[in-house]
Structure 1
Amino acid sequence: MTGMKEGAGEDPFAEESSPSESPERDASESETVEEQESSTAETESKGATQQRTMQIPYKFRRDGVQDGRDRVPLFLMPDTKSAERDALRELEDRFDDDVSLTDLREALMMVGLDHLDEVAGHLEGWGYGMTFE
């Protein structure tokens, strides 16, 4: 073989430049393409940043409710246990989904940690802070 026919290796989708187009127009079109590519790159970069900062919620990234947690003993008075059971039912109704008792207990603990003044008030009701002098 002596070679390919003329045009056989060319890109059939490539645009041919016409002689009527001026070099000035080509330059401005080139700048526009560069600006578009830059804008696209920025958008893709922002999307990648959003993907990196978005975290999968704990419920979906764990293998079980005990993953990443330390076991601690928890002893509850009967009234507290009953209130916990009621809270679990209410939250399951709200979410229309099962709620893990372990997740509920940790959520209750986290909310309590955010509201130490209320916790202190409850502890005072149990006698903390009382003195017998």
Structure 2
Amino acid sequence: MTGMKEGAGDDPFADDPTPDTDSNSDAAEPVEADNASAESAASSASESGQPMQIPYKFRRDGVQDGRDRVPLFLQPETKNAERDALRELEGRFNGNVSLTDLREALMIVGLDHLNEVETELEEWGYGMTFD
């Protein structure tokens, strides 16, 4: 057969170099860092005797994988704060942070802190009566 590698049962990609970035994410990160984080998670899971749970970032094909699309409309001040938070977290993680991941993380934290969300909504006028 032409065009086939010898030993078709072998992994034809075994000798191919690993690419430096993940082209399916909206923020490319070095594979080296991904592998180090995944290996660290595997190591700590095997030491504790618990089955390894691969973090969502590493088991997805792209940032939209497993997510529903929802519209998000932000006031200019909120959009600016979001941008600043993204830059701050990218500095903390020494690399790109997906805006989609940041938004969902912010949503989850907000859901865990409904009293603070209530306070913000009250500042926007919720709960006001004009009797």
Residue number in structure 1 paired with 2:57: 59
Residue number in structure 2 paired with 1:6: none
Aligned mate of 1:116, from 114, 117, 122: 114
Task: Work out which of the two has the higher radius of gyration on C-alpha atoms and give 1 or 2.
Answer: 1
Q: Which has the higher contact order (CA 8 A, sep 6+)?
A: 2
Residue number in structure 1 paired with 2:72: 74
Matched residues, number: 87
Alpha-carbon distance in structure 2 between the residues aligned to 1:122 and 1:48 = 44
Alpha-carbon distance in structure 2 between the residues aligned to 1:110 and 1:76 = 17
Q: For 1:32-61, what per-residue CA distance to the aligned partner results, in whole angstroms no more than 9, with x for missing partners?
A: xxxxxxxxxxxxxxx598352x21110010
**Is there any run of 5+ residues in structure 2 with no aligned partner, and where?**
1-45
Residue number in structure 2 paired with 1:95: 93
Is 1:50 matched with 2:49? yes
Q: CA deviation at 1:122?
A: 0.3
**Is there any run of 5+ residues in structure 1 with no aligned partner, and where?**
1-46
Q: For 1:13-44, what per-residue CA distance to the aligned partner results, in whole angstroms no more than 9, with x for missing partners?
A: xxxxxxxxxxxxxxxxxxxxxxxxxxxxxxxx
Alpha-carbon distance in structure 1 between the residues aligned to 2:113 and 2:49 = 31
Q: Could you tell me the TM-score, scaled by structure 2's length?
A: 0.63
Q: CA deviation at 1:97?
A: 1.3
Residue number in structure 2 paired with 1:83: 81
